[in-house]
Amino acid sequence: NAGVTQTPKFQVLKTGQSMTLQCAQDMNHNSMYWYRQDPGMGLRLIYYSASEGTTDKGEVPNGYNVSRLNKREFSLRLESAAPSQTSVYFCASRKDSHEQYFGPGTRLTVT
Amino acid sequence: AQSVTQLGSHVSVSEGALVLLRCNYSSSVPPYLFWYVQYPNQGLQLLLKYTSAATLVKGINGFEAEFKKSETSFHLTKPSAHMSDAAEYFCAVRRGSQGNLIFGKGTKLSVKP
């Protein structure tokens, strides 16, 4: 039982490049989330998926897209990366209880 | 609308001293509240949660928090700090039926030997 896994762990992009961050959970959770963490800002919700086949915008969705590929996987895509998207990205999942379970994060630098 | 305020972005204590990390919330409905801990270069780990049962909630690693409705507070405490407690701590409130969390900005705890 690996919990929530994220790939890659680190990534450096040039402005304008695109990439997809992958997230998978093996806990059979219905809901999945993408957050970004910036110094002094806490975690801010980018997108979430309440169930397979549904996605909704969070607090800071601009510049991102998501796909809930199946119940296990929830990916985050940056179509044209900008320096303002330099951040640490966390995926999380939740079943019926209230708490969310977090992955180890992806550190993204956009130059 | 729900919101969370953590007082103090940095807190420093001596090993063996009391740890007190402050969290105040705003919620138009009975809140569900959480404390998470983040060790360097890791993800977030749940310390404890309040879901309208007992107002004093015990968590992992000797931490506990007390829900005080009259003060809209959910402060985190530990009687005796250990060096391994050095980390960043986040308070969060659940928002809406989708279970989204709103996080405070975090408090970084340092423990001096």
B30 compared with B49, residue with greater pLDDT = B49
Give residue A75's identity as a one-letter amino acid code: S
Mean pLDDT, residues B29-43: 90
**What pLDDT is stored for residue A1 in this prediction?**
67
**What pLDDT is stored for residue A63 in this prediction?**
96
**What pLDDT is stored for residue B35 in this prediction?**
97
**Cα separation, A72 vs A76, whole angstroms:** 14
**What pLDDT is stored for residue B8 in this prediction?**
92
End-to-end CA distance of chain A: give it in Å, rounded.
36
pLDDT tens, residue by residue, A66-102: 999 899 999 999 999 999 999 999 999 997 767 899 9
SS (H, E, C) B37-65: EECCCCCEEEEEEECCCCCEEECHHHCEE
Determine the residue of chain B that is closest to A37 in CA distance: B105
pLDDT at B66 over 80: yes
Cα distances (angstroms) measured from residue B79 to each of B13, B34, B60, B86, B88: 11, 19, 13, 15, 18
Interface of B with A (CB under 8 A): 9, 32, 34, 36, 41-46, 49, 51, 90, 94, 98-101, 103-106
Q: Count of H helices and E strands in chain B?
A: 0, 11
Residue B97 Cα, gap to closest chain A Cα (Å): 10
Residue B112 Cα, gap to closest chain A Cα (Å): 22
What single-letter DSSP state applies at residue A57? Answer: E
Closest residue to A102, CB basis, from B9, B43, B104: B43
The verdict on a CB contact (< 8 Å) between A44 and B106 is no
> Mutating which of B23, B89, B101, B105 best tests the A interface, going by the most A Cβ atoms within 10 A?
B101
**What pLDDT is stored for residue B34 in this prediction?**
94
pLDDT tens, residue by residue, A37-67: 998 889 999 999 999 989 999 999 999 999 9
Q: Look at the block and give the residue holding tokens 């910036």.
A: A38
